[in-house]
Amino acid sequence: MKLYLNDISSAASRVRIALAIKQIEVDVLPVSILGDDPENRREDYLRINPQGLVPALVTDQGGLITQSIAIIEYLDELHPEPPLLPKGLEQRALSRSVAIAIAAEIHALVPPRVARRLSTLPGVTGAEIADWNRHWVMEGLQAIDRLLQSHQAGPFVAGQQASLGDILLFPQTVNAERMGIDLSQWPMLAGIHARLADMPAFAENAPAPRT
Ligand SMILES: N[C@@H](CCC(=O)N[C@@H](CS)C(=O)NCC(=O)O)C(=O)O
């Protein structure tokens, strides 16, 4: 299989974590996503992934899978052990809820293409874009912490094993810390983050810092 990615991408980090948990090897093809002429917006890459985003997986059959959650679920169905969703139905739903809250409600508001568009609007400064990013990450993580508290979650997002929800949570909390957000204001979230940071599949596949 071939995985198109960028090391700084938190969406690609999710897939790298899933691959590490399952010990699946793939060919990695880097795609630049920052700057004035990033590879992800070029025609060559749009022919591979019409959405122009990373990650994108090309399967052994030559099929294209886009969207990190769909890729992770594909890998989980292809190689069921160890499973990436808990056994209990409600726990599976909780794991998915957290994953979708991160992908759809937090990350979707703060990727490079949003910053690029905001920077073209009259009078919008770099500081205001940083404030925008911080706002959505803080509001989103706070809501997830409350959700996890209401489910009396632990030690991981949905039970005793790290699952899909944790795989999406970790790159987001790593990036939140890099933005200067103090996770200790959300003790449940901070506890889960710390346990994940101790696991090599997570720690070794965190998104790289932007240089
Ligand atoms: N919902 C998508 C998000 C993919 C995405 O936004 N990836 C970012 C990197 S983290 C990207 O390719 N950004 C390029 C851009 O925003 O122009 C997923 O989960 O795979």
pLDDT tens digit string along 29-76?
Answer: 999 999 889 999 999 999 999 999 999 999 999 999 999 999 999 999
| Candidate from 51, 54, 174 with most ligand 1 atoms within 8 A of CB, to mutate | 54
Compute the Cα dihedral for 166, 170, 172, 177 and give only its sign.
positive
pLDDT for the residue 168:
98
Is pLDDT at 189 greater than 90 in this prediction?
Answer: yes
Q: How far apart are CA 166 and CA 192, in angstroms?
A: 8
Predicted pLDDT at 35 = 87
pLDDT at 22: 98
Q: Is the per-residue pLDDT at 153 higher than 90? A: no
Residue 111 burial by CB count (10 A; 0-12/13-18/19+): exposed, middle or buried? Answer: middle
Q: Residue 61 has what pLDDT? A: 97
Where does residue 123 fall: left (phi above 0), alpha (psi -120 to 50 degrees), or beta otherwise? left
Residue 188 pLDDT grade (very low, low, confident, very high; cuts 50, 70, 90): very high
Query: What is the average per-residue pLDDT within 88-112?
Result: 97
* Alpha carbon distance 205, 86 (integer Å): 22
**How high does pLDDT run on average in the chain?**
97
Cis status of the peptide bond prior to 155, with omega within 30 of 0: yes
What number is the average pLDDT over the span 93-112? 97
pLDDT over 90 at 143, yes or no: yes
Q: What is the pLDDT at residue 116?
A: 93
Instruction: Specify the pLDDT at position 16.
Output: 98
Mean pLDDT, residues 132-140 taken together = 98
How many angstroms does the Cα of residue 54 sit away from the middle of ligand 1? 5
Summarize the confidence of residues 146-174 as an average pLDDT: 96
Q: Which of 32, 51, 53 to mutate to test the pocket of ligand 1 (most atoms within 8 A of CB)?
A: 53
* Residue 31 CA, closest ligand 1 atom number: 12
Residue-level pLDDT at 113:
93
Q: Which domains does the chain have, with CATH numbers?
A: 2-78 (3.40.30.10), 89-203 (1.20.1050.10)
Q: How far is the CA of 149 from the centre of ligand 1 (A)?
A: 29
* DSSP symbol at 118: H
Tell me, using a 6 A CB cutoff, whether residue 40 lines ligand 1.
Answer: yes
- Sheet with 27-30, strands from edge to edge, namely 27-30, 2-5, 56-58, 64-66
Instruction: Compute the distance from residue 56 Cα to the ligand 1 centre, in Å.
Output: 10
